[in-house]
Amino acid sequence: MTARSLFALPPLWREGRLGLELAALLRNPVVRGEGIPDAGGQPVMLIPGFLAGDDSLAVMTRWLRRTGHRTRKAGMRSNVNCSEVAVERLEERLEVMVETHGEKVALIGQSRGGNFAKVLAVRRPDLVSGIVTLGSPQLNPLAVHPLVFAPAVAVGVLGTLRIRGFFGASCRNGECCESYRADLATRVPRGVGYLSIYSRSDGIVDWRACLDEGAEHLEVRSSHCGMSLNPDAYRATARALQSFCEPAARTASRRATKPGLEQAA
């Protein structure tokens, strides 16, 4: 590895500041919902990142409930399953959630969870009002620090050995995730909101991989894992979720999901 490539690596050492980032959030009035309008029961599903489970988004989940949202977990103990299998299961949960609440659902995904959120938005604009992604490398899911890529290789070995619940080598180039990869590369349909939050100080993901052209972009000063604890990310998320519910956005979304228009972009 050259000196130039080493210099270009994400600053992994910044991920050690998570405790400080949590402390900063707890001191900020936004965590108590100050300045955030009540969401009136807007449904939101949260999807964790690679190797993480639902509990990794517990602080954000409590904040969403405090600000009037109805939340549901992704049902993941650890996000390591085959991408296609994981998205199909999330789609089933999403269908139930829409049926229960009688309206489209907003998705918040961190890292790999944001990749899943985008694929769901592409496939089911009839169910998804909008997505917020936190440090999600949509342009290249493998644009991560080598020390983080190593556990992904280890998981891939387990999946290749046909141990259930793990993605395998075929998920990267094989038929099992061919549709998933195509949908991840597709632009989010018109009428579905999309905010991509990223950080140049992200210690895991190359921030440039988060700059999906179909999204609104917001830069925050945060570590990768700390994006779900960042006050600026919370404010931006609240604004985005509110915009997903605006009547004009809902009307546009209904137009975009009429037969023959699902792929318009």
Predicted local distance difference test score (pLDDT) of residue 152: 57
Handedness of CA 233, 238, 239, 241 (dihedral sign): positive
Q: At CB < 8 A and 24+ separation, what contacts does 4-10 make?
A: 9/145, 9/146, 10/144, 10/145, 10/202, 10/203, 10/204, 10/205, 10/206, 10/207, 10/224
Predicted local distance difference test score (pLDDT) of residue 255: 41
Cα distance between residue 64 and residue 24, in whole Å: 18
Domains along the sequence of the chain with CATH: 13-252 (3.40.50.1820)
Closest CA to 73 of 32, 108, 101: 108
Predicted local distance difference test score (pLDDT) of residue 192: 97
Residues 198, 234, 225, 211: what is their CA dihedral angle, to the nearest 10 degrees?
-10
pLDDT in tens, the chain (265 residues): 333 343 466 777 778 888 999 999 999 999 999 999 999 999 999 999 988 899 999 999 999 999 999 999 999 988 888 889 999 999 999 999 999 999 999 999 999 999 999 999 999 999 999 999 999 999 999 898 877 755 554 555 444 545 555 555 566 676 778 999 999 999 999 999 999 999 999 999 999 999 999 999 999 999 999 999 999 999 999 999 999 986 444 444 334 433 333 333 2
Residues 175, 165, 80, 125: what is their CA dihedral angle, to the nearest 10 degrees?
60
